[in-house]
Structure 1
């Protein structure tokens, strides 16, 4: 064997030993590894993580997504207008600029934020992390100019969820439109001293807001949904000689911007509230005030404030506020209440927290010319806006509970516990449940969840009851098991009893069965329940005969209810219309307001159905006969220029004049024309309560000169309530060409203010001679709207057509019945 290729025996043995040793070690290691594996099982390494899929594109609905929640806003607004055009100020501008910082809480990882924007030009958008002020990279932003009104902000960086805070900063610019929405411009005239110390009308301007229902988005980018409450810090930069108002009490200071003097008014942070409750006004209005625990201010045109027209509102506001605080044991949470009378606002009033806006006639009163109804309207409107709770269902609930003290205690607990919070209806039920043994939630559940209200039908021969949804189109009605608390009595004992009904099919109740020949049953005593009642024809006839024999046996409010239920049931084809008409026969002996008001409201609808047919003559004669005793009952008051002491009698005096004159009672027309003639001759003896109807009656019976006189009086009147009376009366003329001219005036804001346009057209449309003219104008206005408004108008028109078709069908079915009934009563 050659030397180069061989190995020694010793080496070979050594390698063998090492190999065996290695194998033994490997075996030992394998055994040990197996023992360790059994004792400590291995954990699989984590898979490579995929980035989360973040939503993109528009939300699936018109509601904002819930990935972020607003916490607070800091808003700066600068309107550029001057309150008056003078020799010093000629460059009028109705633009405004601003910026907003909204702090949001991010709930889930997001790369997109949606806010609302409408009619604004957004020039800058920035998003920063709140704690570090680090700016996030934007992918871009866009405004969706469709019905969503979304401002979509796309981010390159991801906003972290887990309730991390971010600040969204925007800069924007807009225009103060005169459309009575958002932050808008209003133009009016104020009497000032001219060069020769004579009174002259000067054009004035103000900016104010109406953000309900969804118009805060027209003022600044925001989360414009009621549930998305937040705190608001507002700063307004405005011209000298103007005052800025908002929800809180402002602190004004002067500054110079680009060489011009400006006023900067800062407002403290508001309580948590919805965007639609935010309010802003910039004007040169003056005010009257009253300081107690809370400062109350009434703002309005200088001319009206100086004449004392705000004094009544100031006095009544303090009384109402003190009453509410005592009643609910809850202190008003802001340090002031501002109330402002605006020349232009599209609603009667708006309950902005701390700055309530009103139409002028809803807040200002000339005590020398105001009727008791004007005073009542102001007091009622202020009470409504301070409390703001729409009361029929609550009254029913209070009656069901039966213990007024327990009910009020539950209400107080609810108001105190849920201040500044979003609530659901069950929160109220829980508070009331603590004070009563009644099952409030079970009683109220269907009233909250179901649409509309029921009609309960009682068959007195068998005691059978049914209930179903009440709708004028009967085919739409369906059985819903409302929980109905029926308070009733029968004529044999007049003891008020209660019965709970919750069925959606017929059910028998023996105590609703009438066995005696002359006995009748009356349900929903005192109208405590929010439902209508229908009876078998025999019971209706017995109720009618009772009204004829002695109507005072039936409670006053139920006399009105019987008439109202019967006419509405007849309109829904659930009751023969002659039964409803028969219930009005007893009114020849009735002097109370509630039954007469119920009857006249329903007969007005009947007149509307037949005012162009041969039925109209018999209706007019019947009403003239029925109203004559009521007119004579109040005639001496009217002739003497006085009014009855009882408030409802004052209303009925007006009803008597209105119906008697409009239906041809000669003594009424002579009286109205004579009083109006005295007015034209410089002596207005007409009591303020009666002016609206007497002006109307005289103009209806008068000529062009009477109309022109009233128009001139309207133009020069300064008291809002008096202007309203004259504006209504001008619609009463029978001259078609004058009505047509008046309709054209509604399109000219210098003649009829925008805030009064709709109501004036409605007045004209209620005049038989004016109906076709108003219809033609509305069709013309519809054609002039843009595409979005056309969609809304088309929907409204479709609803009108649907109602009209239903009315036409009803008239076809009932015309002969109605005609024969009225002819039989002549």
Structure 2
């Protein structure tokens, strides 16, 4: 699955910290809780829950356990479904269907236990299913059937016993609601040319196939699927495989179309997909050997060419992965479809990949450079899964990281092949490695892989779809590829995929194949086997900080924690030591790689003479941070200020990010970290500026309600003005955009940070552009790259007129990327009543789509005025929000993180604990881990502020003088 969804990269920059003048309002609002709940007598721990306890079964009966027994194995399904795209007599959207599953008996049993959730099954002689024997087997009679709601099973108890090696057929007929809950088989509604339209869509990952048809809904229970869809004339039906027969007929007196699809490959239930819509497509098949590629979307979107960019990159990315894996694409077609309502960013259904519109559709007139990059990254991620995840699938969800971490790494390789001039591979440090560091530095983090028994319930499975699985998984696999070298890594992948094709595996199977590739490469010498090196990175949480003393050559490692005095309750058989590959340079010259294999060791080459400097973790190839002795830090700072380009671009970002995080952990002084930003007045490159901005925004979140804000703003105004002036010059005073891909991102930073810090002329520029658009709504001449910033600051400095105009444009927008910019900009207003109104809109799907509700609340929380309003809103309505949007939703982790991002006082910590206690009976779903992390981060920030606030204020004052 894609990495979820978020507003455009630079939108947070523009949306944060808009009004120091609003401080009085914030203070007053921050103590309001509109529907304060009574305190409950029971207590909820606010400490870390990094160790997920094994799930306690409800009883010892097999139907009370969350894992299927190992008695039956599915072979194939025959599924027929008929979604109704109009309301029935009871005012509901429904689907009807039938499903038969052929299975073999592995162990003698008198029970059939199969997943089934929220389906009304037809009774046959008082039973919910029919059972017959296959291939000469005799089926015992059914004694009774019932639903086990907690474990989501249909239980079929037999009068006799099924025999090992024999095959049987279980048949059901059912009716389900085609709800708008974004799970299982659901509906999406949208308007086109004033006409309301309905689409029937699926989202089966992780445990929602059981909502569409009874099935053995575990990833290792692979089978072949024969799918038939019944749909009304004027619509098309899509599924994982090609359609082989279509006929018009009547059913129940209604004219319908029956579309039959060829049997799928052997695959997991979570990858099954079907769509019924009136969409159209654009396609490409250059010759008979090529896979048929089609991009599907709303008719108007395809007509406007919004699918053309995705179409142009899909075939090259498929070819890249075929070569990379040394394995042909397993299917005959690749359909990709953009959906108006979709909870995730995208989903890798085999042969029918589903996307949010923003992740697949691109309009050159209104989509920004970042939108284009988002599409190539997400498409590459999903297509990587066609082999790694779909062809070979994890055995159980405890190893989700292997699927998602791998796709999150190689997505950059596929995207780089499709867009070779973008240098996109370097961005992994910004969008994966640094994201992983932020979470993995907490004691409430968790290892990449855990025991199977720790992940059982659907809520526990949904919690695995997190930053650790995706971003840390990508980071450690990239490190592995770096020290093996990419050709050897790819060779091991190829043999792994060939051995386990159409089957399931565990992470150690991959280690086996990579080790074999190493052993066949005589020149590659590793200090230990792949298993021994990598198990330390995936079986224990966290990562090390490597400290290098250039005076002695001593190199040491220590578990890096945001709060160094935290107690790590999760034991590790490796005692939080890692085998660390260290690539490094001396005064700009690459040196031979070293390995740190114990707590500390002396590496004499790292002892340097006066004037030389050492830089470790070149290319940020390793998953660790680096600290140095004070003298080496000073030499690095001197190099940055004298000739920063001697230090590689990606490592300039590393110096900034490592320094700020070392300071957060009280390992170095905060003033040293702040000094790394002084050279930024000379910097023009995107990646170092983005790294700096993220860390500075973290400081803004701490200080935008205090006296530090003014001097900090004044300092940054001085630092960004040369960048602002540079782009004003090279773009003819903002009339054009620079041609370079990353230069365009730098231009966005220049405008956004200049407006935020009050560089003369910036806010006036955005107000002028926006006012010109308001005067001629049909002629928006603001460049798409700059719209997020312009919209936000125009609304922030405007009033209700600007807000209402933007809302009107948002409701009229036909390009999803433009709608996202407008929706996020609405959160930038300083008017509390407008923000409260906007919050209320998130409860109305006619105003804000369900898929966008939590991200909208999060955007409002990023506004210094909106944060207390969003916090109070969520607290007062948690039970409703959770039941309506949060059960099984991966987005609730981001929501909790967003609404608590400014928490740094004891008062806020107590509110957070009370919120945790008040809603213990409701639950937090995928946000459970995020809630514990919020408590931990708030505690760490309280302590850090006590120790550092005064010197931060003094430093900024000294620099602004």
TM-score with structure 1 setting the length: 0.87
Describe the shift of the 1:351–1:808 C-alpha distance in structure 2 as closer, same or farther (beyond 3 A): same
Q: CA deviation at 1:77?
A: 1.4
Partner of 1:770: 866
Matched, 1:444 2:534: yes
Q: CA deviation at 1:334?
A: 1.3
Which of 461, 466, 489 is equivalent to 2:585?
489
Which of 591, 602, 605 is equivalent to 1:511?
605
Q: Using the alignment, how far apart are the partners of 1:427 and 1:730 within structure 2?
A: 49
Q: CA deviation at 1:188?
A: 0.7
Which of 922, 926, 947 is equivalent to 1:813?
947
Point out the more displaced range, 298-307 or 593-602.
Answer: 298-307
Structure ID, larger Rg: 1
Q: Using the alignment, how far apart are the partners of 2:836 and 2:780 within structure 1?
A: 28
Which of 542, 547, 550 is equivalent to 1:460?
550
Deviations 1:494-535 (A, max 9, x none): 2322111222x3333333333x23332211011111211122
Point out the more displaced range, 665-674 or 794-803.
Answer: 794-803
Contact 2:63 2:153 (8 Å CA) reproduced: no
Q: Secondary structure at the match of 1:297?
A: strand
Q: Using the alignment, how far apart are the partners of 2:510 and 2:818 within structure 1?
A: 43
Q: CA deviation at 1:59?
A: 6.1
Deviations 1:468-511 (A, max 9, x none): 333323324574232211011222x72322111222x3333333
Q: CA deviation at 1:60?
A: 7.5
Matched, 1:520 2:613: yes
Contact 1:252 1:264 (8 Å CA) reproduced: yes
Which of 396, 399, 409 is equivalent to 2:482?
399
Q: Using the alignment, how far apart are the partners of 1:463 and 1:698 within structure 2?
A: 54
Partner of 2:760: 666
Q: Any unmatched runs of 5+ in structure 2?
A: 1-58, 123-127, 386-406, 410-474, 888-921
Partner of 1:195: none
Matched, 1:644 2:738: yes
Point out the more displaced range, 651-660 or 690-699.
Answer: 690-699
Q: CA deviation at 1:357?
A: 0.7
Partner of 2:168: 166
Describe the shift of the 1:220–1:753 C-alpha distance in structure 2 as closer, same or farther (beyond 3 A): same
Q: CA deviation at 1:333?
A: 1.6
Which of 231, 234, 243 is equivalent to 1:238?
231
Partner of 1:792: 924
Which of 381, 394, 398 is equivalent to 1:384?
381
Which of 635, 659, 679 is equivalent to 1:586?
679
Partner of 1:686: 782
Q: Secondary structure at the match of 1:189?
A: strand
Q: Using the alignment, how far apart are the partners of 1:450 and 1:166 within structure 2?
A: 44
Equivalence map 1:112-123=2 (5 Å): 112-123=111-122
Partner of 1:267: 261
Deviations 1:631-673 (A, max 9, x none): 1110131734211122111101000111110121231111111
Contact 1:129 1:165 (8 Å CA) reproduced: yes
Q: Using the alignment, how far apart are the partners of 1:92 and 1:298 within structure 2?
A: 33
Deviations 1:435-483 (A, max 9, x none): 4244433432322333233222223333332223333233245742322
Partner of 2:143: 139
Describe the shift of the 1:638–1:226 C-alpha distance in structure 2 as closer, same or farther (beyond 3 A): farther
Describe the shift of the 1:456–1:204 C-alpha distance in structure 2 as closer, same or farther (beyond 3 A): same
Q: Using the alignment, how far apart are the partners of 1:653 and 1:667 within structure 2?
A: 15
Q: Using the alignment, how far apart are the partners of 2:857 and 2:738 within structure 1?
A: 33
Which of 65, 69, 77 is equivalent to 1:65?
69
Q: Secondary structure at the match of 2:161?
A: strand
Point out the more displaced range, 347-356 or 253-262.
Answer: 253-262
Partner of 1:499: 594
Q: CA deviation at 1:56?
A: 6.9
Partner of 2:337: 340
Contact 2:874 2:881 (8 Å CA) reproduced: no
Deviations 1:560-603 (A, max 9, x none): 01111122222233332222111111111111111110010111
Q: Using the alignment, how far apart are the partners of 1:60 and 1:482 within structure 2?
A: 40
Describe the shift of the 1:207–1:582 C-alpha distance in structure 2 as closer, same or farther (beyond 3 A): same
Partner of 1:291: 285
Contact 1:80 1:93 (8 Å CA) reproduced: no
Describe the shift of the 1:257–1:495 C-alpha distance in structure 2 as closer, same or farther (beyond 3 A): closer
Describe the shift of the 1:457–1:476 C-alpha distance in structure 2 as closer, same or farther (beyond 3 A): farther
Contact 2:62 2:69 (8 Å CA) reproduced: no
Contact 1:641 1:685 (8 Å CA) reproduced: no
Matched, 1:358 2:355: yes
Partner of 1:701: 797
Q: Using the alignment, how far apart are the partners of 1:323 and 1:648 within structure 2?
A: 23
Q: Secondary structure at the match of 1:225?
A: coil
Partner of 1:109: 108
Partner of 2:397: none
Q: CA deviation at 1:71?
A: 2.0
Describe the shift of the 1:68–1:572 C-alpha distance in structure 2 as closer, same or farther (beyond 3 A): farther
Which of 607, 617, 632 is equivalent to 2:725?
632
Contact 2:248 2:258 (8 Å CA) reproduced: yes
Point out the more displaced range, 164-173 or 424-433.
Answer: 424-433
Contact 2:64 2:148 (8 Å CA) reproduced: no
Which of 242, 252, 256 is equivalent to 2:250?
256
Matched, 1:732 2:732: no
Matched, 1:750 2:754: no
Describe the shift of the 1:773–1:66 C-alpha distance in structure 2 as closer, same or farther (beyond 3 A): same
Deviations 1:184-203 (A, max 9, x none): 11111011xxxxxxxxx111
Describe the shift of the 1:157–1:716 C-alpha distance in structure 2 as closer, same or farther (beyond 3 A): same
Deviations 1:233-273 (A, max 9, x none): 11122222221111011232222222222222111211111
Which of 537, 544, 548 is equivalent to 2:641?
548
Q: Using the alignment, how far apart are the partners of 1:684 and 1:745 within structure 2?
A: 26
Contact 1:208 1:282 (8 Å CA) reproduced: yes
Partner of 1:760: 856
Deviations 1:333-370 (A, max 9, x none): 21111111100000111111111111112112222222
Contact 1:182 1:211 (8 Å CA) reproduced: yes
Which of 80, 83, 97 is equivalent to 1:79?
83
Which of 782, 787, 804 is equivalent to 2:938?
804
Q: Secondary structure at the match of 2:483?
A: helix
> Superposition RMSD on alpha carbons, in Å?
2.3
Q: Secondary structure at the match of 1:563?
A: helix
Q: Secondary structure at the match of 2:293?
A: strand
Deviations 1:599-619 (A, max 9, x none): 101111111112211111111
Larger RCO, structure (CA 8 Å, separation 6 or more): 2
Describe the shift of the 1:761–1:464 C-alpha distance in structure 2 as closer, same or farther (beyond 3 A): same
Contact 2:132 2:139 (8 Å CA) reproduced: yes
Q: Secondary structure at the match of 1:183?
A: strand
Q: Using the alignment, how far apart are the partners of 2:148 and 2:181 within structure 1?
A: 22
Q: Secondary structure at the match of 2:923?
A: helix
Q: CA deviation at 1:93?
A: 4.3
Q: Secondary structure at the match of 1:205?
A: strand
Matched, 1:422 2:504: yes
The alignment of Structure 1 onto Structure 2 pairs a total of residues equal to 752
Q: CA deviation at 1:414?
A: 3.0
Describe the shift of the 1:100–1:473 C-alpha distance in structure 2 as closer, same or farther (beyond 3 A): farther
